[in-house]
Amino acid sequence: MSDMQVAAIFGLSGLALTADERAFFARVNPWGYILFARNIADAAQLRSLTDSLRLLSGRRNVPIFIDQEGGRVQRIRPPLAPLYPSGRTLGAIHGHDRAKGLRAAWLMARLHAFDLAAYGINADCLPVLDVPVEGAHDVIGDRAYARDPEIVAEIGLASAKGLMDGGIMPVIKHIPGHGRGAADSHLDLPVVNTPHEALSATDFLPFKALASMPAAMTAHITYTALDAESCATMSRKVITHVIRKEIGFGGLLMSDDVSMKALSGDFGERADRIIRAGCDIVLHCNGDMAEMEALAAAIPPLKDKSLARAKRAVRGLGKAKDGHESALRAEFQELLAAAC
């Protein structure tokens, strides 16, 4: 396998690598992988799958991502991991007692880290920093911590620290903010007409507070006040002037899933626009081989600033601080029980 890594994160089709996937990944050498419920059956199978990705890549710290938020977005479920509450529940605890809310957020993320590390997964697409507004689509909904951007920032920071204390890479999402979207970007392209000043004062605020995080995922949303022609994922204006400069995010920037219907054009065109706009990494989730082949032909290897960001992003992987798992689980359950 080449030492060069293609600037992509790819999904897998099933519970184990197929022969075609092995050949494709060995040839292409994507920077990372992402797992979904279709890739999970039991503990031994999941650990075998992540071990095979690590062995195939030849990298001990190859990033293996998952969406393990809690609530309705939780790919690993009982008996492999407990059911966790939604982000909104953490916000409700914070509303009653700020200190307990922040502690609950750190605890839940730290427990995610225990769960994920046991299966060889080292990156979690969390925290959700979107600030929902009245009338927005429910695709974010109770995944959000609160409607107050200051509270979202506080809880998001506690969650990110919990993951990093467990040796897991957090991915802040969906930069520069998905909370105002009136459509589900999995199905359609949301268009937000809010003035720049209002976006800066609300939607951007949590991302500014977590601008030092190692990785972020873009929003497939068109903000007409920022760039009326292109969604954020494909907008050099948004990435250069808003995400990099105004928000100040200096970490690895990955697209949201390139197969979502918010985007148009063939997959080669999508990848080219995303990279040219300034994203470091193209994310493709569904494991469709024909789509991945088209993307691989259009995505360059990691280099220059993108390569430097990718190297920084993986520095903390696997470096968990000491923690007594059973005691932390008991403390988290006590906080939840007291909040009910």
Q: What is the 3-state secondary structure (H, E, C) of 189-214?
A: CCEECCCHHHHHHCCCHHHHHCCCCC
- Residue 1 has a pLDDT of 54
Backbone angles phi, psi at 6, to 5 degrees: -70, 140
Active-site choice (51, 96, 186, 266): 186
Phi-psi region for residue 13, left (φ > 0), alpha (ψ -120 to 50) or beta? alpha
Q: How far is it, in rounded angstroms, from Cα 245 to Cα 339? A: 40
Of 156, 339, 320, the residue nearest 331 (C-alpha): 339
Amino acid letter, residue 102: L
∠ CA 72-74-80, nearest 5°, is 135
pTM: predicted TM-score of the whole model, two decimal places? 0.96
- Residue 184 has a pLDDT of 66
Quickly tell me which residue has 């990944």 as its tokens.
Answer: 25
Give the start-to-end residue ranges of the domains of the chain: 6-339
- Residue 122 has a pLDDT of 98
> Mean pLDDT, 10 residues at a time, over the chain (340 residues)?
86 98 98 98 98 97 98 97 97 96 98 98 98 86 96 98 98 95 75 95 98 96 95 96 98 94 86 96 96 96 97 95 93 89
Q: How far is it, in rounded angstroms, from Cα 155 to Cα 105? A: 6
Q: How far is it, in rounded angstroms, from Cα 207 to Cα 198? A: 14
Active-site choice (256, 257, 272, 280): 256
pLDDT in tens, 232-263: 999 999 999 999 999 999 999 999 999 887 68
- Residue 331 has a pLDDT of 97
Reply yes or no on domain 6-339 having CATH 3.20.20.300: yes
Sign of CA dihedral 110, 111, 117, 123: negative
Of 30, 119, 26, the residue nearest 66 (C-alpha): 119
Please confirm, yes or no, whether 124 is among the known catalytic residues.
no
Please confirm, yes or no, whether 196 is among the known catalytic residues.
no
